[in-house]
């Protein structure tokens, strides 16, 4: 399964607990970062389920926004990068 995930986490001054680090770490465990708050890549359905559970727990639902696009096959998408591609594989 191929996933594109991005988030917008409210500023820590707006809430009691700063959850940005825990959300970032949870996502980085499963997906490579392509921009500051944008991640994309292959993920097993079981890992996506775990990731979603963690994000639902950590998210301040009235302040934060996490968007996940799921694709059964990356061949159904078209990807164009202008500039540096931060999602190129490190090893070929």
Residues contributing to the annotated binding site for Mg(2+): 8
Give the annotated binding-site residues: 8
Cβ distance 2 to 31 under 8 Å?
Answer: no
Distance CA 5, CA 47 (A): 14
Residues 55, 58, 63, 68: what is their CA dihedral angle, to the nearest 10 degrees?
-10
Closest CA to 63 of 6, 2, 24, 11: 11
């Amino acid at each position: 399964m191929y996933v594109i995930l991005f988030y917008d986490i409210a500023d820590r001054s707006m809430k009691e607990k700063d959850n940005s680090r825990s959300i970032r770490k949870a996502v980085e465990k499963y997906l490579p970062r392509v921009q500051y708050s944008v991640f994309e890549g292959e993920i097993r359905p079981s890992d996506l389920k775990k990731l979603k559970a963690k994000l639902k727990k950590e998210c301040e639902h009235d302040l934060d926004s996490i968007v996940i696009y799921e694709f059964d096959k990356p061949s159904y998408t078209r990807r164009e990068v202008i500039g540096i591609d931060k999602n190129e594989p490190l090893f070929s």
